[in-house]
Structure 1
């Protein structure tokens, strides 16, 4: 039941129901109680006061709307859609929006923590919370974000896995690739992409989108958006240039993709090659960590951040994974 409290010459009415909180001020006590009764009826009926969610809408309805209207235009569409579809199989998807509140989020969090790592739950949390925020601010499907005020899973340490020289040799052997050769199979192109990633620190998605129009003799241009601010030049080492020489067709179609791969192919074929090479727990993205750690020995930190594409220098602390023992050895050499 809502409450009505006299404040000076006015009456403040407040309703808290199913995780929804609303308040208003009235000149008369009767008006305040009438408003309380109406708001409670609206919430129970699923109208949530002034929200305009479709009749009978559930959290699944909200997520499907987000998937179709928001995820569709994002660079991370593939991963967002996968996480949304996973959530649609969870009991939280069946909760009516009128009853979507913190207890439902807590139950979802606890279920997921029993199934996946805290880091995975954090990524799903960010997506679902953002969808709810849009539902509050732009769609008016919710009055408040049910994720607000709920305790997040504990943070996990940044991943610090690096690829060793021996591991790189084994996985390139499994992919039948050596820098400079002309790849004749898709697995060999994965090998070329892996070597290029170690030399440049580029992400799998950036490699997949790279076209010959982006390639100059000593630099490639990474385009993460349509504006000049969303582009960066990546200098090429001699090994990286050798990889491109082996890939370059004759004649060159400037619109063609350099590696002729998409991000999903890189991910799946890398997993197969890793298994064939009997290497444990080495993600393709770990090659970016490996590249940053190597490049940090050669480049000034500002040049490194520009090459890798980090505007916040603190992000390099996540990717730079030089061990304390190795730094101690370098101090001896100085």
Structure 2
């Protein structure tokens, strides 16, 4: 075999034996390349749009070939075999491309960015969390995965994207990102027929972070209310925004409602001692029973035709953090009120009634919010023991 040129498309090969197959040519070429350059390097870069990357994973050698927008990978026992396969695969991709087997209008040209763009245009606007999902999709588009061809996208690409996200955000955020990415690929497979399989299948999600166990003490409640200029025992109306933040804070501890649910509450949603939430985070409505204390807090709000608290969820979060810091309370988020409320309510009502009140359709999810100390359980046991005696 005589090598005239080592160009990326491996076209300049003349054979001594005309019966040699193309695969044999390519294997011989790989062997010749080894003779010329030594052992195959970890990354073999050819001219033009072609890169072969070889890495050792455990006892195996994994090779990935990217050529003309197509990506393929395989594992071998030896590095030499991996390098030979890379050359054969590059030649095969080139030949198939020249025969027109890669549709220039189909997945051979479409990228992950094209898929994300279509989902963002057609699906995201139909969701309640459109603003949040749009921001996450834009973050996906800034990642290198957006440029990967749908014809070559595979589990290793998803895993690499996951690892990059883990360097920037928490494991819980990455888990939510992966759920969204699965939904996007599922739509591309089942409805658009842009893919035949979901590359997210089999990719391990980050382990869940331990649930927060932050409880809120009576001293912290008093300090935050004081910082907001609100007297919980008084009767005056909460006319300023800081005062309404304090009322929302106390109301959340009493009802276990989320910040967005509280901010969207209107007088039309409250009938007697029940607040009706037509649409919640999980997509279902629910009725929230209001305790006498919760009704007293609502009575402290000025009358309005709009939302009772007259504050947006974003403003509530920002102002709560401001007055929390003013009260010198550390490590507390507004959402921790939900943990506190559920832990308190568990002492008063049945767990199934509690799940209906909080909107948890899975009792296991309720357990992430239910945090009672061993001392509290011991006190309850003593109380019940005294009742029986």
Give yes or no for TM over 0.5.
yes
**Residue 47 in 1 paired to residue 102 in 2?**
no
Deviation per residue, 1:256-309 (Å, 9 max, x gap):
111122222222222223333333332211111110100111112222122112
Mapping of 1:154-303 within 5 angstroms? 154-179=207-232, 180-224=235-279, 230-249=284-303, 253=305, 256-303=306-353
Deviation (angstroms), 1:244:
0.9
Moved more, 69-78 or 281-290: 69-78
Bigger CA radius of gyration = 2
Correspondence 1:2-81 to 2 at 5 A: 18=71, 42-43=101-102, 45=104, 47-48=106-107, 56-81=109-134
Does residue 116 of the first structure (1) align with residue 169 of the second (2)?
Answer: yes
1:88 maps to 2:141: yes
Counterpart position of 2:199: 146
Asked whether the equivalents of residues 46 and 96 of structure 1 are also in contact (C-alpha less than 8 Å), the reply is no
Pair 1:126-2:189 in alignment: no
CA distance in 2, matches of 1:233, 1:39: 63
Q: Compute the TM-score of the two structures, normalised by the length of structure 2.
A: 0.68
Q: CA deviation at 1:45?
A: 4.7
Cα deviations by residue, 1:158-194 (Å, 9 ceiling, x for unpaired): 2222222222222222222234542222222222211
Greater helix share, structure number: 1
Describe the SS at the equivalent of 1:103: helix
Which residue does 2:363 correspond to in 1? 313
Aligned-CA RMSD value: 2.9
**What SS class does the counterpart of residue 284 from structure 1 fall into?**
coil
CA spacing shift, 1:172–1:38, aligned 2, 3 Å = same
Q: 1:39 to 1:133 in 2, by over 3 A?
A: farther
> Any gaps of 5 or more consecutive residues in structure 1?
2-16, 21-35, 50-55
Seen in structure 2, the aligned counterparts of structure 1 residues 39 and 148 have a Cα distance that, compared at 3 Å, is farther
Structure with higher RCO (Cα < 8 A, 6+ apart): 1
Number of matched residues? 293
Within 1, Cα distance between the matches of 2:152 and 2:240? 54
State the distance in 2 between where 1:40 and 1:234 align. Answer: 65
Deviation at 1:19, TM superposition (A): 6.2
Contact persistence 2:107–2:149 (CA under 8 A): no
2:163 is equivalent to residue 104 of structure 1? no
How far apart in 2 are the matches of 1:76 and 1:329? 42
Using structure 1 for the length normalisation, give the TM-score.
0.78
**In structure 1, C-alpha distance between the alignment counterparts of 2:154 and 2:98, rounded to whole Å:** 17
Structure 1 residues 85, 273: CA separation in 2 closer, same or farther (over 3 Å shift)?
farther
Structure 2: tracts of 5 or more residues without a match: 1-21, 23-69, 74-94, 385-389
Residues 105 and 211 (structure 1 numbering): CA distance in 2 closer, same or farther, change over 3 Å? Answer: same
CA contact (8 A) 1:105 1:146 kept: yes
Task: Report the secondary structure of 1:134's partner residue.
Answer: helix
